[in-house]
Amino acid sequence: MSSNPFTDHPASVGETYGQHLVAASGFGFAMILGGLACLVHGLLPFLFLRTGSNTIARLNERMVVSRRRAPVSPAFAGQRRAAQRLG
């Protein structure tokens, strides 16, 4: 069982709670803005031609490709493997 739900996950990705809050908030705001651009593009297809796909590519680069991960405890490693099998 988790010892502290506010710090366990951030630690599993090599961040403190505050660092994770800032990073996750940045991702959230970028997704909201990218989504709004996609909605506008749907109505006015001559606007925001690449904004949605550029946002996704930039977020993928930050989250998946460039992320430095901390060493993972055996408990988190098992949870990560289980999540990967489901996802």
User: Model pTM greater than 0.85?
Assistant: no
Q: Which of 14, 18, 17, 15 is nearest to 5 (CA)?
A: 17
73 contacts 8 by C-beta, under 8 angstroms: no
The predicted structure's pLDDT at residue 14? 86
- The radius of gyration computed from the CA coordinates of the chain, to the nearest angstrom, equals 17
Res. 68: pLDDT tops 70: no
Q: What CA–CA distances, in Å, run from 29 to 1, 8, 19, 24?
A: 31, 23, 15, 9
- Report residue 61 as tokens: 């680069």
Task: Report pLDDT digits (tens) over 13-36.
Answer: 888 999 999 999 999 999 999 999
pLDDT band for position 71 (cuts 50, 70, 90): low
A 10 A CB-CB count for 21 gives: 13
pLDDT score for 62:
87
